[in-house]
Amino acid sequence: MRGLIADSPNSLGGRARARRWEIVDRSFPRLCEQHVLDLGGTVEWWLRAPVRPAHVTVVNLLEPGETDESWLTPVVGDACAASSIDGVTAGDYDVVFSNSLLEHVGGHAQRVRLAEEISALAPKHYVQTPYRYFPVEPHWIFPGMQFLPIAARSKIAQSWPLSHSAAGSAEEATNTVMWTELVSITEMRSYFPDSQIVHERFAGLTKSLIAIRV
């Protein structure tokens, strides 16, 4: 069921991702010639992308993925301290990408750190995150889940069939819920004051926010 709603190319989520790439194409028309730093992404995401930059370095705290492609470099590391990772140097990149990471880094102070890294590491960036006040929580596809108490959210994370991945235990569910904190428009503007904040909409409502600096 989740695949039909969010994961397959022809699902609502798949069509939304296609529209995001249209925004990328308009914002970064020379991306195929540029060097990209992806904070929080995976090599799989780039292998499926409709555009291939000159080179992409993918930084992920847990699983950036593996590849033999010469244009992709996976690195295990903390995106909130990316500039301290060996081989990641400000000035080496044209664009920083970050998709659905900002809401998972551990609160306001960590989001500030991530935003500072993004702004410092390249002159351009594309930062997407789900909007807190969209009526359906996107990770679990559950209406209003982000507004419920942690205990209630944890129970949903354990059993809701549309979850991205089912929690193996109550402890894992609570941990996942506590590491997911959606942000508002005001917060997004404060993290990226020099960027254009683009509203990705569904049925006329803001579904996600994208900070773009070109």
Q: How high does pLDDT run on average in the chain?
A: 94
pLDDT tens-digit readout, 103-112? 999 999 999 9
pLDDT of residue 8: 62
User: Domain coordinates of the chain in residue numbers?
Assistant: 2-136+180-213, 140-179
Q: Strand ranges (DSSP E) for the chain?
A: 35-39, 55-60, 72-76, 95-99, 124-130, 136-137, 142-143, 196-202, 205-213
pLDDT at 6 over 90: no
Q: What is the mean pLDDT of residues 197-208?
A: 96
Measured distance CA(131)–CA(199) in Å, rounded: 9
pLDDT of residue 167: 83
pTM value? 0.92
The stretches of the chain forming alpha helices (DSSP H) are 2, 12-27, 43-47, 108-121, 150-159, 170-178, 185-191
Q: What is the mean pLDDT of residues 3-14?
A: 62
CATH topology assigned to domain 2-136+180-213: Rossmann fold (3.40.50)
pLDDT tens-digit readout, 39-72? 999 999 999 999 999 999 999 999 999 999 999 9
Directed axis angle between helix 150-159 and helix 170-178, to 10°? Answer: 120
